[in-house]
Structure 1
Amino acid sequence: MASAWIAMFATLLLAFVNGTKDEVHTSPSVEVHTSTPVVALGSPVTASCVIRDDCPLIKGKAIHIVWHLNQRLIPSSPAAANESGGNSAAANESGWISTVLYSVANQSGWNSTVSIPSFTDTRGYLTCCVLHTFPCQIVGAVEIRAGFPPPAPQNLSCLTNLTKPETLSCQWDPGQDTHLPTQYTLHTKIRDLQESNTYVLPPGAHHYRIPRTGFVLFSEIEIYVKAVNALGQATSTPLLLEPMKSAKFDPPKVLKVQAEPNRYGCLRLSWCLSEEQAWVTIVSLEVRQKTANSKQWSEEPVSVPRLVRQRPMEVCRLLHGTEYHIQIRVRYHQSPWSEWSNSNAAVTLERAPTGRLDSWMTVSGEQRQKHLSVHLLWKPSKQFRANGKILSYVVSLQKQPTKKGQLCVTLDSHCVFQLPRRARKVFLSAGNAAGASSPTEVEVFQHRALAAVSDVNVLPHDERSLLVQWTSIHSSSVTGYVVEWRPLWKMDPSLILFDHIDRNQSSTLISESIEPYKPYGISVYPRYKDGIGLPQTVEAYSRQKAPSAAPNLRVRETFYSRIELTWEEIPLCQRNGIVQSYQIFYWNEQGNTKVVTAELEKRRVVLGELNPSSSYKAFIMVSTGGGSLNGSEVTLKTEPMDVLAIIMIVISSGVGLSLLVIISVLACFSTHERLKMCFWPMIPDPANSSIKRWTTSDSMQDIPPVQDMQESSLVYLSHLSLMDLPKKGLEKRGGQITDDSWCHCSDTSDLGESICGSPHALSPSYLGSHQHSVPYATVVFDSPYSSQPPSQSHAYLRSESTQPLLEDELEEPSSPKEYQNVPVRGTSGEQVSFRECQDDGPGKGELYTLWDDFPLLRALAINDIQSET
C-alpha cells in the first residue's frame, strides 16, 4: 500500500511540472484545491484538501492531516485547533505571520485547509498528508510559483547585415528576472507597405534575426518587443529606423597608395567596397595613418563625407619624404562604421631637411698636442624635419661644406674626429636625396676648471624612466645644463644620449632607451657662456632585483688559524642593481655559524680564530637594492701547526720576554739609588759613628719623629747599629777570637775607639755564638744628647731588626716602649733598673754593672766617661 501511494505521489509531481491546473485530483477519493497556482512574490496563498470517506486510508480509522511546503512541516496552532477541531500553525522560519490550518470531519469525509499570509518561495510544492502511521502518507499536492510581472524590455537596437544572407539583427535587455516563465515576441511593421509580422522567440532568448523578407532597406520599419508571463505583460518602446541607415559595411579594401606628383606631403589612395556591397554608390569614409617607425596610429582620423565609390582620394599635411601606412573605413550616413581595411604604404615626396639639430660635444687632449680629440653627438630638435630619408650627416670646418673642410660624414648620430686646436666652431648638417639642411653651428669649448653642480640624485620613476635631480648653480654665467646618460654594460659610443635643460630647471625625466635591471651612468654638466663645467656622474637603475649570479669564492691563503678568501666582481649585466654588501657565512663541523661582512672595494675577507686542522664550509651572499643571492657552498680546511710555526711562536715569545727584561733593567738602572735602598739598605757602622759630635741641630735634622710614642715630648734616636762581620775578618789567636777589622779603628770614630779599647770587649762566648753578626741597638733620648740633664733618665728601645741584639737568654718577643722600670742584672746577680742606676749619681760601679748586660751601651758609656775626663 505504501509503495502504491509513493508511486501515485511521483505521478502527481510530474503532473505539476507539465501543467498549471489549479486543481489536481490524485484519485477519485482526494481533491486538493488552491486559490491560484501563480502568485506575486510575498502574496498570501490558501489551499484545501478534501478526502472522501471511500478513501482506504480513513475507513474506520482516526486520522490526523498535516501540510508540508517543500518538505517543511507546517506546524499547527493549538488555539486554532481548539476552535476548529483541527491543527493550526503560528509564524515559522519561512516568515509566515499567521497560518491557520483546520480539519473538519463531515458525512462525506475530511476537509483540511491551509492559509499562508506571505509566500516567499519562488517555487513550492504544497502537500497534504495523512498521519496515522510513520511516515505520513501523501494523499494530495499542488505546485505554487511566485514571481514578478515582466518589466518592459530596454535598449532595443537593430543592425542590418548586408552580407548574404541579408538580415536585420535585433537585441534588447530583458531587465529584472521575473522568476516565472516569460514569453518574448518581436513585432515589426513596415509603414510603406502596412505589413506587420510577429516573431515568437524561444524561452530565454533576448535577440532575433529578421530575415530579408521581413524588411525593406530604404523603407522605415517600426519594431518593438512584448514580454508576457502569468502575472502580466509589458512592451518596449518602439524603434523606428531605415534598415539601410543601420547597415554595417564589410571592411573596404585599399588598392594602392602613391605620392602625388609635385605635391609635397600628400598621398593618393585608391579603394573599393566588398563585392556584396559594391552596388552602394555614396558612403562616408575615414582615413588614418602612421609612420613606418611608429607603433601608434593617428589619434584623429581624417573624415571624407559622401564620397562616391571607386573615386580616389588624397591625404595631405604629411611629412616630406616619410613612409606612411594607410587604412580606411566606411559607413552609410549615420550607420555604424565598418572595421578598418587592410594597410598599404607609400612615401611622400622628399625635400631638403629643415630645422636645426641638437648637439653635444666632449673635447679631450693635452695642451702640448696640436689637435683635439672631439666626440660630437646630435639628435633632431623639435623643429627639425627630415623631409625624407636621411642619407648622411656632415661635420665641417666651413659653413658651406666642401670635401676639403669635411671632418666627418656618417649615417650615425655621432662622430669622433681630430680638430685643430685653434678651431672654435664646427658646422653640422643633414642631407637627403633632395638636398642638405642649413648648417647648425656648434661651438668648441675646451676643458676648463669650471664649477660643477652638486647633490646629483637619480630616482626611479617607473621601469622605463629615471628622475634626475641636482642643485642649481646661482650664477649669471650659467646658460643651461646637459644631462647625459649611457648604458654601462656596453661601451658603444652610439648609445650615449643627452638632453639640454633650461638654466632655471633643476630636474628632468629621462625615458629614452631605459630598461629595468640595467645600470646607467647619469652625468650632469653645467653650461657656461665660455665653457662647459665639470660633470657629476652617478650610477642608477630604474628597477633593481637580486643578482643573476653570485661570485665564486677562492682561497687565497690558508694558515692554521685563519683563511683568506677572495672573489671576482660580478659582471655589470648580471648585477641587476647596485651591490650593497658581500657577506660570508661560514660554520664548523659542529654547526656554529659566523658571518663576516666584507668591504665592497677590496672584495676579500679573512676568516680568523679558526682551529688548526679543521674543516669549515662557507658561502657568499651578495645583496643589491632589490634582493640577495647566495653563492655556491665551498669547503675550507685549515693547515696544521708545523714546526716552523711553533718555532716562530717561541722566538716571538722569547723576543718579547727579552725586550721586557731589557726594559726592566733599564728602568732599574735609571732608579738604581731607590732600588739599592730597597734591597741593600744602608746600615750605620758604629765603628765610624761620631756620637760625641752630635749637636742639637744635627739630631733634629737627621732623626725622624716617632709617631707611635705615647709621650707628647720629642723622641731622639741614636741610629747606632753594628753590621755583619765578614768571615775573613775573624781570626783565632791563641784560642782567643779577635776581630782585626773591628779593633782596627781610626780616630775618626770615638765610638769605635771606645769599643776597641774598652776592657769590656765582647767576650769570646758571645762572639762564638754570633760569629756573623754584631748586636746593635738604638738609644732614645727625651732631648738632644748634649742637653741631657744628669738626673734625667734615658729610655732604651729594642731594635726591630731580625739580627740578634742581646743574648739568647735576654731576647723577648716584644719590648715595652720605655725601659725605665725594666729590671737589669748587675755583676753581683741582683736586678737593677735603669732609673736606679741614674739616681745613684756618678758612681761608676753600678753603671758598669748595668752595661754588662748591654755591651753597646757600655761602650757608649765608656766613651762618654773618657771624653769627660
Structure 2
Amino acid sequence: MISMWLSVIVMLVAFVNGARNEDDVEPCAKVQTDSSVVPLGSPVRATCVIRKTCPLVVGQAFHIEWRLGEHLFPGNLSANESSIVSEVFIPSFNHTRSFLACCVRASTVQVVGGVEIRAGYPPEAPQNISCQTNLTTPNTLTCSWDPGQQETHLLTKYSLHTEIWDTNENFTYKLPAGVHRYIIPRTGFGLFSDMKIYVKAVNELGETTSEPIILEPVSAAKFDPPILKIQAVPRRYGCLQLSWSLSQQQAWMRDFRLNLEVRLKTADSRYWSEQPILVNRVKQAKSVDQCRLRPGTQYLAQIRVRYQQSPWSEWSRRQSGVTLETAPTGRLDSWTKVSGDHPHKQLNIQLFWKPSKQFRANGQNVSYIVSGKKLPGANGKMCSTKGNYCTFQLPEKAKKVYLRAVNAAGKSRPTEVRIYRPKDRAVVSGVSVIPQDDRSLLVQWKSLVSSTLTGFVVEWRPLLKTDLSLTQFEITDRNKTSLGITGSFEPYKPYGISVYPRFKDGIGLPQTVNAYLRQKAPSMVPKIQIKKSWQSHVELTWDEIPLDQRNGNIQSYKVFYCDKQGTINVVGAEPGERRVVLKGLDTESVYEAFMMVSTSGGSSNGSTIHFKIEPFDAVAVVTFSTVSGVGMSLLLIIVVMTCFSNQKRLKQRFWPAVPDPANSSIKRWTSESTQDSHLDWDNEEPNPMYLSHLSFLEFPVKLSKEDDDAWLSNAEDTSDLGESICGSPFLPGYTGSNCDSVPYATVIFSGPCDSPTSKDPHAYLRSESTQPLLETEESFTPKCYQNMATDEQCFFGPCHDCVPEKGTDPRILWDDFPFLRALALNDSQID
C-alpha cells in the first residue's frame, strides 16, 4: 500500500510538471469519470481530454495509455479541433481504493491526468435492536444493534432515533463512526411510556433504516440479583419457604408483579436441577413455597427475577435450608467380609453398607445400628456408628444380622444381612482396569461357569490410606464381566480393586489388582547395590520403591552398563524381581551402570555407579577358605581318632596312673603299668610311684631261697594283678573277677631299714581283706624302706631321718601300709 501511494505521488508530480503550459495556468489534460465512488466489482468508464497545445504532444509521435495500479488498459483515441480525447472502460473495479491515471507515451511516459476511485457496498439495515433499562441511579436506557455481516469498505454513519408516543417527542442521537451502542439519558425516555426506536445507517453509496421496535422501558429493565431467605415450612414435610426481595435501590417496585425462577439441588449434589421452577406474577412481599422435596434433606436454592419480558436478573446468592425430618425409608446395600477365629469359635465380621437407590435418609444426623435381633433393642446390638462400616464378632453358628438407619424422627425398617462364610473357590481371573475419564475406571474380569454362582462384588479402596470408611463396593449379577466405577479418584495414587465371586452358600476367593487413574514416571529410582561378584559375573540388587513414590504400576527394571570402550549393554528384570546378574565381564575394565524404572506413564533413570571385577574376588576367597577349612577339619578328625585309638599310652604319657589306695582295686594294677614307670633322675626327690616289680604269691609263712630266686628271675612278667590274685592258681577256690574280698600282698622285712642286710629273703604274705585300703587294723606304719644295698630311701625324706622308735619291730612299721608290702624292688632296674 505504501509503495502504491508513493507511485501515485510520483505520477502526480510528473503530471503537475508536464501538464502545465508555458503560462502555467491551464493543465495539459483532464480526466473525468461518472463517479469517484462505485460499488465494488462494478464497471467504470473514464475519459482523458488532452489539449493539442500540450508540450508533451506538440511535434512528437505519441500514444495514450491508462494505468490502474500496476495494470495497463488500452483506450479509444479520438481528436477534434482543440483536444485529443481518450476513453477507457474497466469491466470490473475490484479495488476498494485505487488511482486511475492517463499517460502519454513519447520518448518517455508522462502522467497527464488521473482520478481516485473508491469502491464498497451500501450499508445493511441494522438488525437485532435491543434496549436494557438500568433502574439503579442514574436511570439509563442502553440500546445496541448489529450493523450486519458484510463490510461496506466505506465510512458508514449510524444514528439512533426515538419517538415517545405519550408526549410526541422525537430524539435523534448521532454516533461516531464504528460505534453500534448508545446510552439514552433519563430525560430521553419514560419508564412506563411506550416508545418507538429505530436506527439509520448512511454511507456514500446509500442509506438504510432498521425495523423499529416498540418498547416500554420498565419492561426492559434488568433487575439486580434478589435477596433470598429459606426456612422449613412448619408441619409440612418436604417443603421449603422462600422469602425474597429486590435490592435496596429497586425496592420501590415492591407493588409490581414480577416473574420468578427458582433452582434447587441437594447439598451433596454437584448439579442444579435441569429445569428451573417458574413462578409467574408474584410480589416480593409474598413468599414462595417449594414442596415435593425429600424430608430431612439440606437443599441449596437460588432465584432470579424479571418484569414481563425483560431480561432475567443474575442469580441470587445461594442459600440453604433443611426440610422437616421423617424416619428413614428404604433398604441399604451391604457387603460383608467374614474371617474365622477358630480357637475362640468366633467369626470376625467387617460389614460395609451404602444407600440403595430407594433409600432415603429423611434426616441430617443419621446413624446406623447393627443388631442380632430383628426387633429393635439394646440386648442384641452389635455396634452403632455414623459411618458406613462396622466391625464386630459373632458366634460361629450365626446366620444373619440386621441393619437399621436412625435419625431424630425414628428408625428405618431392618435390612437383613446374611452372614456368608468364605469358600475356597476361585472362579475369577484376568482382572484388568482401564481409565475412562477423570472420575471413572472400567473394571473387567473373566469367570468360570458355576451353577452356584449368584453374582460378583467389586470392592475398591485407596492403598495409601488405612481408613476403612474409604472402602467402596458395587454388587453385580452373575452375567456381568465388567463394571464402571465412579468416585473421587486421584491421579498417580494407587487403588486396590478386588473382584469377589458370590455363591449361594458363601463368598469365593477374590482377585486383586492395583490400579491408577493416570500414571507417570516414578518419583524415585532405587540405588543399585552390588550383592556379590564371582569370576566374570556380578549380581546387582536394589530396594523396592515405596508405594507412594511409584506413580503407576512398575512395568520393568532395566540396568544399563558399559565398559571403558563405551559398549552399552542392557539387562532387564521383571517387576516382581529386584536383582539382575551381569555376565561376561572383563576383570580389567571399570564399568558404569544405572537403572531405568518404567511405568505406562513414563520412565525415570537412577544415579550411576562404578564397579570393577577383581581377579581374585570374594567368592574365590570364600571357596578357598571353605576348602581349607574342610581339609583342616578332616586332619583334626584323623588326629583325634588316632589319639583315641592309643588312649592308654597317651594317658600314661600325659596323665601318669597314680593309684588311689582309697578308691582303687589291686585288680586294676598290672605288671605293665609298673614297668612303664621310671625314676626321674633329674629330680632330687625320689619318685614314690616307682615300682621295680609287683607280683602276688601265696606263702604260708616264709619263702625259700629257691622260690625267691624264681620270683626274682621272673621280674619281667607282666601278668594282670587281678588274674594274679583273683584268678591265681595258687589260690584254691578263687574265681577271679567275682571275688568278694580285695586281695593284696604284704611285704615282710626281717629287720629295720638301718640294720645290716639280712641274708634271709623277705617274706611276702597275701591278704584278702574286705576293708578299703589304708583302713587296716595294724598299729604300726613303716617309716622307710631299703631301695638299694648302699642307699636307703624314705617315702618323704632321707633314710637317716627315719629312725625307728626304740623297742619297735621294723616289720610292724610296714603293717601301717599293707599295700606297700606287695611292692618288690628290683635293684637291677635302678642300675
Say yes or no: TM over 0.5.
Answer: yes
- Render the CA deviation track for 1:44-66: whole Å, top value 9, x for unaligned: 22223334466666677666544
Which residue of the partner structure matches residue 72 of structure 2?
74
Which residue of the partner structure matches residue 545 of structure 1?
520
**Matched residues in 2 for 1:227 and 1:314: separation?**
51
Q: TM-score, normalised by structure 1?
A: 0.65
- Render the CA deviation track for 1:579-613: whole Å, top value 9, x for unaligned: 22211110001101111112433311111211224
- Render the CA deviation track for 1:446-471: whole Å, top value 9, x for unaligned: 22334533443433323432222334
**Matched residues in 1 for 2:372 and 2:617: separation?**
75
Which residue of the partner structure matches residue 706 of structure 2?
none
Q: TM-score, normalised by structure 2?
A: 0.68
Query: Map of 1:316-335 to 2, 5 A cutoff?
Result: 316-335=291-310
AA aligned to 1:437 is S
8 Å contact from structure 2 (residues 141, 217) kept in 1: no
Residues paired across the two proteins, number = 611
Query: Map of 1:446-457 to 2, 5 A cutoff?
Result: 446-450=421-425, 452-457=427-432
552 and 52 in structure 1: CA distance in 2 versus 1, 3 angstrom threshold: same
- Render the CA deviation track for 1:448-503: whole Å, top value 9, x for unaligned: 33453344343332343222233456555433321111223333322211111133
8 Å contact from structure 2 (residues 158, 175) kept in 1: yes
Which residue of the partner structure matches residue 50 of structure 1?
49
Which residue of the partner structure matches residue 33 of structure 2?
34
AA aligned to 2:34 is S
Instruction: Give 1:253 deviation, angstroms.
Output: 1.5
Whether 2:213 is the aligned partner of 1:213: answer no
Which residue of the partner structure matches residue 153 of structure 1?
126
Instruction: Give 1:537 deviation, angstroms.
Output: 2.4
8 Å contact from structure 2 (residues 126, 147) kept in 1: yes
8 Å contact from structure 1 (residues 101, 115) kept in 2: no
Whether 2:277 is the aligned partner of 1:279: answer no
Instruction: Give 1:548 deviation, angstroms.
Output: 2.4
Which residue of the partner structure matches residue 775 of structure 2?
none
Which residue of the partner structure matches residue 771 of structure 2?
none
Whether 2:144 is the aligned partner of 1:170: answer yes
8 Å contact from structure 1 (residues 464, 514) kept in 2: yes
Query: Map of 1:127-142 to 2, 5 A cutoff?
Result: 127-131=101-105, 136-142=109-115
AA aligned to 1:69 is L
Which among 8, 12, 18 is matched to residue 9 of structure 1?
12
Whether 2:238 is the aligned partner of 1:265: answer yes
AA aligned to 1:203 is A
Of 397-406 and 349-358, deviating more is 397-406
Instruction: Give 1:360 deviation, angstroms.
Output: 0.8
Gaps spanning 5+ residues in structure 2: where?
A: 1-5, 17-23, 628-831
Which residue of the partner structure matches residue 404 of structure 2?
429
Gaps spanning 5+ residues in structure 1: where?
A: 14-24, 76-88, 90-99, 653-869
Which residue of the partner structure matches residue 575 of structure 2?
600
Instruction: Give 1:560 deviation, angstroms.
Output: 4.9
8 Å contact from structure 2 (residues 131, 141) kept in 1: no
Instruction: Give 1:445 deviation, angstroms.
Output: 1.7
8 Å contact from structure 1 (residues 560, 613) kept in 2: no
Instruction: Give 1:381 deviation, angstroms.
Output: 1.3
Which residue of the partner structure matches residue 102 of structure 1?
77
**Matched residues in 1 for 2:122 and 2:574: separation?**
81
**Matched residues in 1 for 2:290 and 2:199: separation?**
45
Q: Give the secondary structure class of the aligned counterpart of 2:374.
A: coil
**Matched residues in 2 for 1:370 and 1:180: separation?**
98
Query: Map of 1:759-774 to 2, 5 A cutoff?
Result: none
Which among 265, 268, 271 is matched to residue 293 of structure 1?
268
Which residue of the partner structure matches residue 799 of structure 2?
none
376 and 73 in structure 1: CA distance in 2 versus 1, 3 angstrom threshold: closer
583 and 473 in structure 1: CA distance in 2 versus 1, 3 angstrom threshold: closer
Query: Map of 1:117-132 to 2, 5 A cutoff?
Result: 117-131=91-105
Q: Give the secondary structure class of the aligned counterpart of 2:402.
A: strand
Instruction: Give 1:248 deviation, angstroms.
Output: 1.9
**Matched residues in 1 for 2:25 and 2:519: separation?**
79
AA aligned to 2:146 is W
**Matched residues in 2 for 1:356 and 1:194: separation?**
72
**Matched residues in 2 for 1:51 and 1:540: separation?**
91
Instruction: Give 1:438 deviation, angstroms.
Output: 2.5
**Matched residues in 2 for 1:150 and 1:642: separation?**
96
Instruction: Give 1:277 deviation, angstroms.
Output: 2.5
8 Å contact from structure 2 (residues 534, 617) kept in 1: no
Which among 184, 198, 212 is matched to residue 238 of structure 1?
212
587 and 168 in structure 1: CA distance in 2 versus 1, 3 angstrom threshold: closer
8 Å contact from structure 2 (residues 523, 549) kept in 1: yes
Instruction: Give 1:259 deviation, angstroms.
Output: 1.9
Instruction: Give 1:564 deviation, angstroms.
Output: 1.3
Instruction: Give 1:7 deviation, angstroms.
Output: 9.1
Instruction: Give 1:297 deviation, angstroms.
Output: 2.0
**Matched residues in 2 for 1:32 and 1:641: separation?**
109
Query: Map of 1:288-687 to 2, 5 A cutoff?
Result: 288-450=263-425, 452-471=427-446, 474-475=449-450, 477-641=452-616, 645=620
Q: Give the secondary structure class of the aligned counterpart of 2:436.
A: strand
Whether 2:246 is the aligned partner of 1:248: answer no
Instruction: Give 1:220 deviation, angstroms.
Output: 3.1
**Matched residues in 2 for 1:271 and 1:180: separation?**
52
Q: Give the secondary structure class of the aligned counterpart of 1:278.
A: helix
Which residue of the partner structure matches residue 692 of structure 2?
none
**Identity percentage of aligned residues:** 55
Which residue of the partner structure matches residue 708 of structure 1?
none
**Matched residues in 1 for 2:15 and 2:184: separation?**
41
